[in-house]
Every structure is written in C-alpha cells, then in structure tokens.
Amino acid sequence: MDAGKLSLAIQPLDLPTVISQSIQILEKRVLDARIGISVTIPENLPALEGDPRRINQILVNLLSNSLKHTDPTGTIEVRVSAYAGFVDIAVTDTGSGIPPDEMDLVFVPFERSRDAVRLAKEGTGLGLPLARELARQHGGELTLSSEMGVGTTATLRLPTGES
C-alpha cells in the first residue's frame, strides 16, 4: 500500500451485506467470547460506492479490535447513519478503552496499546493503520473516541458522492 500499488475495485456497495459478511467472518470468535453484537442500519441509505473487499477488511479489523478488548457478556454495536454526503459506520464496544495518551499511537504501524501488551492480546499493530489508510483510499476517514473503562467507538466515514 505504501508503494501506491493498491488498486481498489470500486463498485456500488451493498452496505448491509458487507457488514453481515464482516460479522460472519468473526462468528466463531464472537460466540467463543460470548459477546453480543447488534447492528442498526437505516432504510433508504444513499448510494455508496467502494471496494467491498476492502470495506470488509476495515470492518473486520474494527470488529476484531472490539472483540479483543471487550470482556465476556460485553457488547459491540454497529450503527450506520447517513447525512450531508456521508455514511458513517460506527463500531462501539464496551471494552477497556484506550488511554488518552495512546490515541494517536494506535494508528502508528506496529504500535500497540500498553493494555494490549499487558494483557498479552494478539495482534501486530497493523490493523488500525491499515484500516485508516483504506478509508483514506476511499476518500473517507477513520476516527476513534474512547473512554477508559467504558469503551471505544471507531467511526468509518465514507463519502456518498451526494452533497
């Protein structure tokens, strides 16, 4: 990706299907972790174009992070909203949260939060940097908000082409 060799296969996106496929990929981990996942998608979403495989990759990374940092019986919510030329896909968990001084670090390749290292959570530290770059390749962005002991929300914002 850094070499500029990633090409996107842009096509009309069926967002509910892409979200469903992302959750299905992680189904065994979700069941093993005993974590509930809810999905809220409004009807009449605006048309959205993107590379379904790459959007799926972003969502799998976000959901995987939520699964890693959420205790059993916790919850993950995927909520889609549309407004003013954008679609937001927010993945919110009731996990441990990210310390404020580490929020920028989680987007640096190979960096992992102290919490992930302390708890020996799996991962290479590439998921969020990759997800952010894929969002940018789609003309979008990936942002995080978090509160220690409450959870984290990762929001993927994608342009619709409408204004």
pLDDT recorded at residue 87: 97
- Whole-prediction pTM: 0.88
The answer to whether residue 4 sits within a structural domain is no
For position 132, what pLDDT does the model report? Answer: 95
Q: Is residue 2 part of a domain?
A: no
Does the residue 73 lie in any domain? yes
* Average pLDDT along the chain, 163 residues, taken 10 residues at a time: 69 96 94 93 93 97 93 94 95 93 82 49 72 95 95 96 66
Edge-to-edge strand order for the sheet containing 86-93? Answer: 36-40, 75-83, 86-93, 151-159, 141-147
CATH number, domain of 151, equals 3.30.565.10
Task: Name 100's Cβ contacts closer than 8 Å, sequence gap at least 6.
Answer: 146, 148
Total structural domains within the chain = 1
Report the pLDDT value the prediction gives residue 111, as an integer from 0 to 100. Answer: 63
Provide the pLDDT for residue 159: 96
